[in-house]
Every structure is written in C-alpha cells, then in structure tokens.
Structure 1
Amino acid sequence: MALGLLRRRRSRGASGAVSSISVPLPPGAGACGFEVLDPMGQPMGGAEVTVTALDSHRIATRGTTDPHGYFIATLPPGSYSVMIVAEGLSPARENLDIAAGVARPTAQVVLQPARQLELPTAGTWLFDPPHTAIRFIAKHVGMAHVHGRFTRFQGNLRIAPDMADSQVAVRIDASSVTTGNNTRDNHLRSADFLDVERYPYIDFTSSRFAHLGGSKWTLHGTLTMHGTSRSVSLDTTYLGSINGGYEQELRCAALAKAELHREDFTLNWRSMLARGIAVVGPTVQLELDVQAMYRTHDTPTPPQ
C-alpha cells in the first residue's frame, strides 16, 4: 500500500488558479490534493492534514501543507474524511471518494478565523482536584517512558480584566509523586532526587500571560523545585468555560505543557548512577490538565 506526500507539477493560468496537477499513481491507487488558504486568501503553509478511512476509522496518512499551501497524497480506493487544522483558525473537514487510477482535481480550502472563546470571568478561580491532573512523562534511562503524576496539590487563578495581567499559583506536594512502582517512587522522593524532607513543595508562580492567537497562550513564570527556582514557559490551550458540574458551578478548563531539564534544578543524580540506579533521563514533559471553579473576585487565596 503506497501512501504519502508526493511532489507535484502544477501550472497556473492568468487568474492564478491551479489548472492541473499530475502525480505518479502506484498500481491500484488514486490521488487527492488540497490547496489550503488563510482567511485573506494567502497560501497556508504548515497546516496539519489528516486523512482517515471512513470504514475502519484508521488514519491513512497525515502531514502538513508545503510553503505554497499544498498537500497531495496517493491512497487506496475508498471513502475518506480529511481534516485540515491550523493555529488560530477553525478546522475544515472534507469527505472524498478515491477511485483507482484517478487523480482528483485539487480542492481549494479556505480556513476561517476560529471562534474566539469567551475568556474566564474576572475574579478568583480555584483548582478542582478531582477534575484536575498534574502529570509527567520521562524517559527511563535505556528503556521505555515513565508516566507519573502528583496526587496532592492546590492552585488558584486570579483573572484580571486584562488577561495579560492575570496570575496563576500552584503548589504541589512533592511526596505525592507516583509512577506505579513503589521502589522507583521511593527513589524519586529520596535525597537523590526530589528530597521531599528538605523540599516538601514544588511551586509555580506566573509572571504574565502572552496570547499567541486563537485559544493558544504562553504562560510565563517561575518554577521552584528542589530548592532551585527557574523561569519556565507553559504552552497553554484554553478550553473554555461552562456553567455546569456540581451545583451548576461556573468552571473553566485549560491544558498547559512544558519541557523541564532536570539538571536545571540540580538533579544530576551522579550518585545514583554510580550505584547503578537508573531512574529517568535528562528531560521531563510536564502537563497540567486543569479544571477550575469560580469563587468570586473576593474569595481568599488558599494558604500556601
């Protein structure tokens, strides 16, 4: 089964419209192509394209548009769904049928601006622990990934009328780290790593929000772990707010991610490696999947 992006040959008429595209077709395959444009009608390079078979719901191929906004693929005969996604723009979906030996005419897709999610109401929002997760993924030295989480934490958001001036504070109980392996968890809590007896908390305090477009933000702040503070940036996706849940509370949600380098926090583990103890590799992917509850503008911040 031959799948993938192919080089194209195209010609344009005086109007600039694509008049033809020719691609080599593997035996028994067909082809499809898309020209993706932004809301101003300009080529949209780097848009993500995913082609899924409608019968099996499996991804047949995926990739990104080239600098001219084009994506071309060869596919086995069948019916497919095509999803086209770009930052800050509404996704577009197309259904198409592929026939053997047929290269479909290139379809032009104009992406529209994404609907702007209403920002959270100004005031204090408190993390809801049962509906919030703080997770991490680390490479086990020489082996597979280690997935872990912290089970005890508290956090709050103070949303300002100007979102850029809002603040986030998170405190994590370092001893609540768990990876599903007691021996490894004890090592992570020990003086070789988090040293939870000397440094019981991991703290994050934001300094500013920077809007990237659509629902994407960068949250800048300071992370303090193992007695060391470092500036970090969290890639954050705002997921919106809803009036629901227990007692119809007003809630908002966001997903924030960052890559941490353990040596930035003096976690070099040389003593562990000297004793033949291998825990995790040099980088850790941190993820905060947050749901917060509105507690009015004058609700006190939880004690730190």
Structure 2
Amino acid sequence: MVLGMLRRLRSHGSDAAHGLTVPLPPGAGAFGCEVVDPLGQPMGGAEVTVTAMDSHRVAAQGTTDPYGLYVATLPPGTYSVMTAAEGLSPARETIGITAGVALPPARIALESARRLELPPAGTWLFDPPHTAIRFIAKHVGMAHVHGRFTRFEGGIRVAPDMADSQVSVRIDASSIATGNKTRDNHLRSADFLDVERYPHIDFTSTRFVYRGGSKWTLHGTLTMHGTSRSVGLDTTYLGTVNGGYGQELRCAALAKTELHREDFTLNWRSMLARGIAVVGPTVQLELDVQAMYRTHDTPTPPE
C-alpha cells in the first residue's frame, strides 16, 4: 500500500515534492526514494540499506520494487542511506527523520561502476588487525546473534589473469566469540563445532567469476565439522592503496555468503531435544579482508 501511494505521487510530477502521504506509526517519520539506472530508467531490485548514524545498526533494509521505488518508516534520528546494484557504483546520502514527517521522495541515480585497477600479481597475506570474519544467525527465530572468529590466517595468490587467482583461509574454530561465554562454550562443544575433533574451518577457492564493476563471485570449497561443501561468496573488490606501517601495498575486499548449518552436519534438533537453543538453521558469513603484498620468498598462504 505504501509503495502504491508513492507511485501515485510520482505520477503527479511536482506534487511529490510536498512529501509522501503515507500512514505513519506514532512518533515515526518516513523516507522514500526512486532509484534509476545510468539511462534514467527505473531500477527494480536495487538494494537499499538504512543505517542509524548513532548506533551504526541497520534500521531498514530491502530492495526496490519493479518501478525502482522504496519506502521505509523510521524512528526520529539521522541515518545513512546506501543504494547499490550489481555493476553500478553505490550511492550514499545522509537523511534526518522527524516524527510525523514524510520526506519528499528522493531520486537516486546510480552510475556505471568504474572498474578498479586490480592488485598486482603475487602473494598477498591477510593482515589480521585489519581483517574481520563475522557471522550473523537468528537465535532460533528470535533476536539475531552476532559473532566473529578472532584467530585465522589466509592469503591470496593473485594471478596475471584474475580469474586464475586463488584464495585460502584457515580459521581457528575455537576462537568463535559471540559476547556470551556460556553460548561460546556450547558452540565449541561436540553439539556444534566440536573443536576438539575439528579444530579448523578451511576455505579454498576454485575460481573467480567477474560480474561487472567491482563485483566478483568467488567459488570454492568450505570444510567445517569434517564436511566439505561448495560455496559461492559474493565479493566486492575495494581497491589497492599504499598505506599502513612502512607504506605497504595493500588491497581490500568484502565477501558474503549464506550457510545452512545442516549442510555441515550441525544438527540443531538434538540440541532442541535437550532444551538447548543456540542459533537457527542459516548463518550469514562475512569476510572483511585487508591483505598485504609480499614478495615471492614470503611464506605462502595455508593450504
């Protein structure tokens, strides 16, 4: 209903500038936008993420409808709105939400992504202080559990043809941390990761597939809890810079995927039967990687 109202406002041209006529919950405001492609055509399926500036938490997230439209009702505050679509440069803007006010719908034009210069061929090793391996899972249908692995090593062998490059990561399974000692101990136990028998979680890539702009899909094999499965990581290359101590050459990327626990024989039913509730059946995994360039005589990443 809300998007239908926005469409009617758009059809009246300048009338939309007076704001959205949408039902608002008590104390809430509204933000709406129309996303268009580089040719000015409505862009359905664009991802819109609204993040609260004070807490840095995602307040609303979704995709535009076939007409390129998106609307969210929000509590008062200041928010960052990021709009992204495959092969196009993301757009970001800051908005202020006031109770009882629906902002005029914004027109967001996404531009063709400039393909960043790829990193030089050679060995790149992960920089742990500037790399994070995070996950988000539902607490059996209730609140989300946010966690990370604190000990890992990995690297990238960049080939002259990027499609032939290789990535390998080894994670210390016992380093899982969710901010709750009881839950973390249970996740390390034989009920879940069983770190005594399976101390490592390993990922080895098989191929890179270019998707346009700075987007790649990284295909590979993930081994966890003694089981190996093929996975694909949606990867955004963030560029290469000289920086850090000694002005080292560094590259960065963000990779995401969704895992299904039962694919790795992590059986949650046995936990529930004993009255234990840990996490739901799917886990969102994110690798926020920064790697440092090394010469040919640097030890190679783990196999």
TM-score bucket of the superposed structures, by smaller chain: 0.7 to 0.9
Corresponding position: 1:119 with 2:129: no
Q: 1:259 offset after TM fit, Å?
A: 1.1
State the secondary structure of the residue aligned to 1:197. coil
Contact 2:158 2:166 in 1 (8 A): yes
Task: For residues 162-198 of structure 1, give each alpha carbon's deviation from its aligned partner in whole angstroms, at most 9, with x where no partner exists.
Answer: 1111110000111111222222222111111111111
Task: For residues 272-303 of structure 1, give each alpha carbon's deviation from its aligned partner in whole angstroms, at most 9, with x where no partner exists.
Answer: 32222221111111111111000134533145
Residue 243 of structure 2 corresponds to which residue in structure 1? 244
Q: Which has the larger radius of gyration?
A: 1
Identity of aligned residues (%): 78
Residue 191 of structure 1 corresponds to which residue in structure 2? 190
Unaligned runs of 5+ in 2: 24-30, 52-57, 74-78, 96-102
- CA 1:95–1:123 in structure 2 vs 1: closer, same or farther (change >3 Å)? closer
2-structure distance, mates of 1:276, 1:82: 41
- CA 1:50–1:179 in structure 2 vs 1: closer, same or farther (change >3 Å)? closer
Residue 67 of structure 1 corresponds to which residue in structure 2? 66
Residue 285 of structure 1 corresponds to which residue in structure 2? 284
- CA RMSD across the alignment: 4.4
Between structures 1 and 2, the one with greater helix share: 2
- CA 1:85–1:176 in structure 2 vs 1: closer, same or farther (change >3 Å)? closer
| Equivalent AA in structure 2 for residue 275 of structure 1 | R
Q: 1:114 offset after TM fit, Å?
A: 1.8
- CA 1:90–1:197 in structure 2 vs 1: closer, same or farther (change >3 Å)? closer
* TM, length-normalised to structure 1: 0.75
1-structure distance, mates of 2:236, 2:111: 19
Corresponding position: 1:154 with 2:153: yes
Residue 163 of structure 1 corresponds to which residue in structure 2? 162
2-structure distance, mates of 1:284, 1:62: 18
Contact 1:89 1:111 in 2 (8 A): yes
| Equivalent AA in structure 1 for residue 300 of structure 2 | T
Task: For residues 82-119 of structure 1, give each alpha carbon's deviation from its aligned partner in whole angstroms, at most 9, with x where no partner exists.
Answer: 876433223567999xxxxxx98x99775431222111
Bigger mean CA deviation after superposition, 41-50 or 172-181: 41-50
| Equivalent AA in structure 2 for residue 254 of structure 1 | A
State the secondary structure of the residue aligned to 2:118. coil
Task: For residues 214-265 of structure 1, give each alpha carbon's deviation from its aligned partner in whole angstroms, at most 9, with x where no partner exists.
Answer: 1221111100011100011111111111100011000111111111111101
Residue 202 of structure 1 corresponds to which residue in structure 2? 201
Contact 1:240 1:253 in 2 (8 A): yes
Task: For residues 15-45 of structure 1, give each alpha carbon's deviation from its aligned partner in whole angstroms, at most 9, with x where no partner exists.
Answer: xxx9787899579xxxx99775433454433
State the secondary structure of the residue aligned to 1:187. helix
Residue 271 of structure 1 corresponds to which residue in structure 2? 270
Contact 2:151 2:172 in 1 (8 A): yes
2-structure distance, mates of 1:83, 1:275: 43
- CA 1:62–1:221 in structure 2 vs 1: closer, same or farther (change >3 Å)? closer
Contact 2:236 2:254 in 1 (8 A): yes
State the secondary structure of the residue aligned to 1:170. strand
2-structure distance, mates of 1:85, 1:279: 33
State the secondary structure of the residue aligned to 2:111. coil
1-structure distance, mates of 2:254, 2:261: 22
Contact 1:9 1:21 in 2 (8 A): no
Residue 90 of structure 1 corresponds to which residue in structure 2? 89
State the secondary structure of the residue aligned to 2:196. coil
Q: How many residues matched?
A: 288
Q: 1:63 offset after TM fit, Å?
A: 7.1
1-structure distance, mates of 2:283, 2:292: 28
1-structure distance, mates of 2:180, 2:278: 11
Contact 2:89 2:213 in 1 (8 A): no
2-structure distance, mates of 1:198, 1:181: 23
* TM, length-normalised to structure 2: 0.75
Q: 1:151 offset after TM fit, Å?
A: 1.2
